[in-house]
Structure 1
Amino acid sequence: MIGKVPDQGKSFRGVVNYLLFGKKDEPSPERVAWVETRNLLVTDPKKAATLMRLTAQKSKRVKTPVYHYVISWRHDEAPTDDIMRIVADTTCQDLGLDEHQMLYVAHRDTDHRHVHIVANRVHPDTGRAWKNSHDYRRIECSLRRQAEGMGMDYVPGRHNDPERFHGKSRAPANPERQRNRRLKQRDLPRFDEATRSKHRERLHQLVLGASSWADLDSQLASEGFAVLRKGQGLVLADASGTMKLSDLGRDIRLKGLEERFAGSFADHEEERKQQQAMQKALVPSRPKTVERQPEPPADKPAEVPPPGPKPKEPNQSAERFEALKDAGDKADMTYSLYNMGLASREQVKNAARELKQAREKLDEGRPLIEQLTRDMFKEKELEPEPRAEPSRQRRRDRGRGR
C-alpha cells in the first residue's frame, strides 16, 4: 500500500466532479466503483460537496478547506471493498479526521485498486480547522502498520522505514522540472487514450526487441521518442507529450528491464549525462559579438517608448454572478435541510436575505437603461378609476336639452 497527497483543489465541487466524471475533455464516469460518505447527512456525492462547502463557511480564516489524498494497492493485490473502507477509515482516524466530513470514491480504471478520500478540514461542530502539517509522514506510518497487520506489502519510505534510508541522501532534483519552473513552463502533458493506443504496439515491439539501455535509446530515437525518469518509474516522451512505461503492457516494468539489460537505469542515465557533457565540451563555442548601438544625434531627442498596456481590471460582473450562484445553492440546500427538520426557519430567512443581497449587487453592475427597463416591468400597472354613473336628475336634464 502507498498513500499519495496530490495537488489540493480549490473547491469541493471541482474535486468531486473530477473524481466522479473525470476530465471535461475526456469524461469517464464508468471508472467509479463505489462511493460512500462519512459524518454527512446525505449520500448523494453532489449534495455532499454542497454540504461540505456550507460547513466550511463556519471558519472565516480557512482559505483551503479541501483535503484530498489517495490510497493505492499493488497491481497483483485485490483487496475487497470492505478492506478498502477499513483502511480508509483507519487512516483518517490516525490523521485525526474521524470526526470530519469525508467522501470516499473508489476507482477501477487502472491496474491497481485505489480509493480517493476528500475531507473537510473544518470541523462540523466546533468550526476549527484541522492542521495538515506532516500529513504524509502520518499516512506512511499508518499504512505500514495496517499492511503488516493484513499481510500486504507496503512501499518503504523515509518515515515508515527510516532504517533502510538511514545515511542515504535524498533523490536528486529533476533538472528538467526545475528548468520548467524557472522558465514558468508546464511539464509535458500525458497522452490521451487515443494517442497511447496509436503508439502502444510499435513502442511495445521496440522495447521487447532492445538488448540494452543504449540499444533502447537508439531505437526510440528513430521514432522520435526518449525514455526518461519520472518519479519512481519511467516515461516515454516526445515533443508533444509522455506516456508511462507501464502503458505498454503488464509485461514491461522497470525492474524487469533492469534484470534483462543487467544494469540499472540510474547507471545508464549517469553514463548518458557524461556522454552529453563530453560532446558539448568537444564542440568549440563561437565568440559572442557585441553590436554597438548607434547613438542618436544631439539635435534629435531620444524616443520615449510608448506606455505599456494597462493592467486588466478584475471582472466584477463574473465575481458577482458567482456570488449569486453560491447564494442560490446555499438557499436551496438550507431549504432542503429545513424540510428535513435539520434547519430552522431563521436560517432559511438568512439564506433568502443573502440571496436577495447578491441579486442587488449583481443589478448594480448592469447598465442604467437595463435597470430602468427591468424596474418598469416590475412596477404594477395602474388601473383607471371606475367611471361614476350619472344620476337620474342629470339624465333628465340631458333629455330636455339643458
Structure 2
Amino acid sequence: MKSVKKSDFAELVKYITNAQQKAERVGGVTVTNCQSDRPDAAIIEVINTQVQNTRAESDKTYHLIVSFRADEPDETTLKAIEARICEGLGYGDHQRVSAVHHDTDNLHIHIAINKIHPTRYSIHTPYNDHKTLGELCERLELDYGLERDNHQAQKRGAENRAADMERHAGVES
C-alpha cells in the first residue's frame, strides 16, 4: 500500500516560485510574516518554525490555489484577496509565500502556508475548510465585483450517498 507523503514547504515554495523556463509563468511573489521578503530565506525560517512543533503528526504545510477568470483582478486586489482568505482560515499571523501564476488560461495564486504558528508553535488546521473557503470566495466575489462561481455542493455527504444508493438500486425517492 502506498502511503501519502506529507508536504515539504521548501519543495512547494521552490515549485511555485520557479518560472520553469516560461517567460510568463510567475508574476508577483509575496512573503508574509517572515523576517525576510526573499522566498529562499523564508523557507529556512518556516522550516525552523516547523521543527519547533514536535507533537504534530499531521502535515505542517497548507497549500491553496485560488483561481480567477480571464481579466480578473489587478495586483492590489490579488494581494487583498490572498490576505482575506488566509485571515478567514485562521492563518492571518502564519508565515506564507504566495506566487501569482499566468501559465494557464486562468490567472491563479498559489499560497504555501506554514500551519505552525510562528510564536506559539501550535498547529492550526481549519475546521471544515472547504465550506469556509466556499463562503469566503462568495463574499470576495461580491466585495470585489468578480464573476460569481458555484462554491458549495448542492447536497451534503449523507444526501449524496443516499442518491448514489438509489441510483445504483434503480429506485427513485
Category of TM-score, reference length = shorter chain: 0.7 to 0.9
Within the alignment, does 1:136 sit opposite 2:130 as a pair? yes
21, 25, 36: which is aligned to 1:28?
Answer: 21
Q: Identical aligned pairs, as a percentage?
A: 22
105, 109, 113: which is aligned to 1:111?
Answer: 105
Within the alignment, does 1:71 sit opposite 2:76 as a pair? no
Larger radius of gyration: 1
The corresponding residue for 2:167 is: none
The corresponding residue for 1:397 is: none
Q: Alignment partner of 1:119: what SS?
A: strand
Contact 2:17-2:29 at 8 Å conserved across structures: no
Q: What is the RMSD of the two structures over their aligned residues, measured on CA atoms?
A: 2.5
The corresponding residue for 1:297 is: none
Give the Cα–Cα distance (whole angstroms) in 1 for the partners of residues 21 and 81 of structure 2. 26
Contact 1:8-1:67 at 8 Å conserved across structures: no
16, 41, 50: which is aligned to 1:19?
Answer: 16
Instruction: Report how far residue 99 of structure 1 moved.
Output: 0.6
The corresponding residue for 1:348 is: none
Q: Which structure: greater strand fraction? A: 2
Q: Which structure: greater helix fraction? A: 1
Within the alignment, does 1:158 sit opposite 2:133 as a pair? no
37, 40, 49: which is aligned to 1:43?
Answer: 37
Instruction: Report how far residue 10 of structure 1 moved.
Output: 2.1
Q: Alignment partner of 2:52: what SS?
A: coil
The corresponding residue for 2:74 is: 80
Instruction: Report how far residue 12 of structure 1 moved.
Output: 1.0
Question: Which structure is higher in RCO with an 8 Å CA cutoff and minimum separation 6?
Answer: 2
Distance 1:29 1:9, change over 3 A: farther
Distance 1:53 1:29, change over 3 A: farther
Give the Cα–Cα distance (whole angstroms) in 2 for the partners of residues 101 and 11 of structure 1. 14
Q: Alignment partner of 1:153: what SS?
A: coil
- Where in structure 2 are there 5+ consecutive unaligned residues? 165-173
Give the Cα–Cα distance (whole angstroms) in 2 for the partners of residues 37 and 29 of structure 1. 22
Instruction: Report how far residue 65 of structure 1 moved.
Output: 0.9
Contact 1:20-1:29 at 8 Å conserved across structures: no
Contact 1:12-1:50 at 8 Å conserved across structures: no
- Where in structure 1 are there 5+ consecutive unaligned residues? 1-6, 160-164, 174-402
Give the Cα–Cα distance (whole angstroms) in 1 for the partners of residues 134 and 18 of structure 2. 29
> 1:69-218 maps to which residues of 2 (within 5 A)?
69-75=64-70, 77-158=71-152, 165=154, 170=160
Give the Cα–Cα distance (whole angstroms) in 1 for the partners of residues 48 and 96 of structure 2. 14
How many residues matched? 157
The corresponding residue for 2:171 is: none
Distance 1:68 1:8, change over 3 A: farther
Give the Cα–Cα distance (whole angstroms) in 2 for the partners of residues 157 and 104 of structure 1. 22
Contact 1:21-1:29 at 8 Å conserved across structures: no
The corresponding residue for 1:53 is: 47
Distance 1:132 1:166, change over 3 A: closer
Instruction: Report how far residue 8 of structure 1 moved.
Output: 8.3
